[in-house]
C-alpha cells in the first residue's frame, strides 16, 4: 500500500513540477469556453442555457489532452518496465496513475469551472451542483481515459486515436453530469439532482473497477 501511495505521490510531483501538463489543460479549458460566445454570439440567455453542456464538453476535451502522457513518458524512459516487473501489480499501477491524473487534472478543472460559468452567465444557483457533479464525474474520465492511454501507448497518431476511442466511453458521464445540472435548475431541485449524482457515482465506481484491469491488460500485451 505504501508503494501505491508512493506512486501517486510521484506522479503528482511530476505533474506539478513539470508544470506544462496542468497549465496546458487549464489553459485549453479556458480557451475553448471563451471561444463559444465568439462562435455563438454574445446572447446571454442562449449562453446560460447551453453553459452546462459547454463546460462539460470543454472539461472532457481538456482532460483528454493530458491523458496521452499518462503512460507515455514512463514508457519512453523505461520506468514503466520497472513498474511492470516490480512488486506492485500492474492493475494497481494503472489505478495509481488514474488517481494521480484525477487529482492533478480532474479536480483543478472542476474547481475552475464555476469561474468560466460566470463568463457563460450560468445561473448562480447551479454552481454548487456544477462543482459537485464534476468532482464526482471526473474519476470516470480518468479511469476510462487510462484504458485509452494504455491501448494507444505504441500506436501511430496516438492522440487522435485516443480521442476516437475514449470520447464515446464518456457519453454516460456527460449525460448524467448535464442532467444533474438541469435538474438543479428545475422545479424538483433536490430529488432530480440526487438521482443523477448517484448514477454519476455509480459510473465512476464501475470505471474505477474496470479501467485499471483493462488498462493493465493492455499494458501487459505491449510490454512483452
How big is the chain, counted in residues? Answer: 224
Q: Which stretch binds other proteins (CB under 8 A): 21-29, 42-50, 81-89, 211-219?
A: 211-219
* Residue 157 binding other proteins, by CB under 8 A: yes
Across the chain, the runs of DSSP E, i.e. the strands, are: none
Residue 174 C-alpha cell reads as: 456527460
Angle at 122 between CA 117 and CA 128, to 5 degrees: 75
CB of 12 or CB of 217, closer to other proteins? 217
Nearest approach in angstroms of CB 221 to other proteins is 4
Of 65, 88, 99, residue with least CA distance to 219? 88
Angle at 158 between CA 133 and CA 143, to 5 degrees: 30
Nearest approach in angstroms of CB 21 to other proteins is 23
Nearest approach in angstroms of CB 106 to other proteins is 19
d(CA 22, CA 121) in angstroms, rounded, equals 26
d(CA 110, CA 106) in angstroms, rounded, equals 6
Q: Which stretch binds other proteins (CB under 8 A): 28-36, 53-61, 81-89, 166-174?
A: 166-174
* Residue 168 binding other proteins, by CB under 8 A: yes
**From candidates 158, 185, 189, 194, binder to other proteins by CB under 8 A:** 158
d(CA 96, CA 177) in angstroms, rounded, equals 24
Residue for grid cell 500492474: 90
- Interhelix angle 171-185/127-151, rounded to 10 degrees, is 180
* Residue 198 binding other proteins, by CB under 8 A: no
User: What character string, x for contact with other proteins (CB under 8 A) and - otherwise, covers 58-97?
Assistant: ----------------------------------------
Nearest approach in angstroms of CB 164 to other proteins is 5
Residues that bind other proteins (CB under 8 A): 144, 147, 151-152, 154-158, 161, 164-165, 167-169, 171-172, 175-176, 179, 199, 203, 206, 210, 214, 217-218, 221-222
Amino acid at each position: 500500500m505504501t508503494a501505491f501511495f508512493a506512486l501517486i505521490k510521484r506522479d503528482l510531483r511530476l505533474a506539478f513540477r513539470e508544470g506544462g501538463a496542468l497549465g496546458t489543460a487549464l489553459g485549453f479549458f479556458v480557451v475553448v469556453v471563451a471561444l463559444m460566445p465568439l462562435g455563438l454570439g454574445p446572447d446571454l440567455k442562449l449562453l446560460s442555457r447551453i453553459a452546462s453542456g459547454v463546460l462539460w464538453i470543454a472539461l472532457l476535451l481538456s482532460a483528454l489532452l493530458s491523458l496521452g502522457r499518462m503512460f507515455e513518458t514512463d514508457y519512453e524512459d523505461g520506468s514503466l518496465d520497472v513498474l511492470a516487473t516490480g512488486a506492485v501489480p500492474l492493475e494497481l499501477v494503472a489505478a495509481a496513475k488514474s488517481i494521480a491524473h484525477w487529482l492533478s487534472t480532474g479536480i483543478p478543472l472542476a474547481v475552475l469551472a464555476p469561474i468560466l460559468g460566470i463568463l457563460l452567465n450560468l445561473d448562480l444557483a447551479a454552481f454548487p451542483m456544477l462543482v459537485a457533479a464534476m468532482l464526482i464525474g471526473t474519476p470516470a474520465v480518468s479511469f476510462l481515459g487510462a484504458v485509452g492511454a494504455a491501448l494507444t501507448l505504441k500506436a501511430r497518431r496516438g492522440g487522435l486515436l485516443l480521442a476516437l476511442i475514449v470520447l464515446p466511453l464518456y457519453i454516460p458521464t456527460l449525460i448524467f453530469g448535464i442532467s444533474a445540472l438541469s435538474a438543479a435548475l428545475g422545479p424538483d431541485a433536490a430529488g432530480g439532482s440526487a438521482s443523477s449524482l448517484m448514477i454519476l457515482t455509480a459510473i465512476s465506481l464501475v470505471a474505477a473497477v474496470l479501467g485499471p484491469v483493462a488498462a493493465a491488460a493492455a499494458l501487459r500485451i505491449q510490454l512483452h
